[in-house]
Amino acid sequence: MPKKEEKIPEKVEVPKEEKKIEKEVKKEEKVEKKEVKPEEKLKQEKPEVEKTEGEVEIEEIIEPIEPVLVEEEKPPEKIVEAKIEEELARWTPKTNLGKAVSRGEITDINKILEEGMKIKEFQIVDKLIPDLESELVLIGGRPGKGGGIERNPLRVTAKMHRSGRRYTSTAFAIVGNKNGIVGVGKGSAKESIKAIEKATTKAKLNIIKVLRGCGSWECGCGENHSIPFKTTGKEGSVTIILLPAPKGISLAVNNESKKVLRLAGIKDVWGQSIGDTATRINLIKATFNSLKNLHRYRTFK
């Protein structure tokens, strides 16, 4: 079938007068659509309220929002100090020694140790030695990536029961003020935190006063940087020998024994260990016993 021819609409000419009118209308619309300030908008939105005599307009006061301050996390040392202060505030002494310390009759720990008084409350040590420091011995271990043992401060043991395995954590702690006082203690519990707390508490109850001096013929300075003479300590199969050293030698012993000597306030010493030193608890106890044995001989200054 033949296609129908489409008709093209002819252009209609708009008169000049109508074009002028359209331009004027557009200009008026632009003037009306000018940007309105936010204050004017609020005034436009708020309905006007009729005022009576004696009434005063109350303006809305918008206070600036203050930024929320986030509390900084306290370091573990400050947390421990706060915990000790709380325990001392709640402490009610039960022993005669504790009562004397709380009343302020005894203010020096050296007096207690020299007279051989038995300390049965760890709060006594916290009150008389506020600068006491603690450190854990690496008695635990697990298989490392490349073989060997990766040491850690907790030794976990398992005991088999009908209900299954029951795990126990053991920790060994050293406490000292780096000025002639040191103590060691072992604690066990189901939870690791409680085991560490028990070990630290027992170490505070076992503190001793360490005899320091300068017994090396190479130095002879007379200061308390080393030990006054040779001493030996034994625990199990481990024996350790400590010798006085001159200034600058530092602690020439194994890493675990260094912790005891450092917290005792000894800076220079020579040492020799014999036996199964892989058993860290026996090694530390042997070092502690060697410091105890310094009191076998009486020295005169």
Amino acid making up residue 74? K
Per-residue pLDDT at 273: 94
Instruction: Please state, in angstroms and rounded to a whole number, the distance separating the CA atoms of residues 288 and 283.
Output: 9
Per-residue pLDDT at 178: 92
Mutual orientation of helices 280-292 and 255-264 as an angle, nearest 10°? 30
Instruction: Please state, in angstroms and rounded to a whole number, the distance separating the CA atoms of residues 279 and 83.
Output: 33
The Cα-based distances of 32 to 27, 36, 69, 224 in angstroms read 9, 10, 47, 93
Instruction: Say if residue 39's pLDDT is above 50.
Output: yes
Give all domains of the chain, ordered by start, each with its CATH number: 76-130 (no CATH), 131-296 (3.30.230.10)
Instruction: Say if residue 180's pLDDT is above 80.
Output: yes
Digit-coded pLDDT (tens) for 1-33: 455 555 555 545 555 566 666 777 666 666 555
Digit-coded pLDDT (tens) for 125-136: 999 998 899 999
For range 281-294, the mean pLDDT = 95
Per-residue pLDDT at 77: 47
The DSSP output letter for 249 is: -
Please count the residues of the chain: 301
- pTM of the model as a whole: 0.70
Instruction: Please state, in angstroms and rounded to a whole number, the distance separating the CA atoms of residues 29 and 33.
Output: 6
Per-residue pLDDT at 221: 85
Instruction: Say if residue 59's pLDDT is above 60.
Output: no
Digit-coded pLDDT (tens) for 225-279: 999 999 999 999 999 999 999 999 999 999 999 999 999 999 999 999 999 998 8
Confidence of residue 149 (pLDDT cuts 50, 70, 90): confident
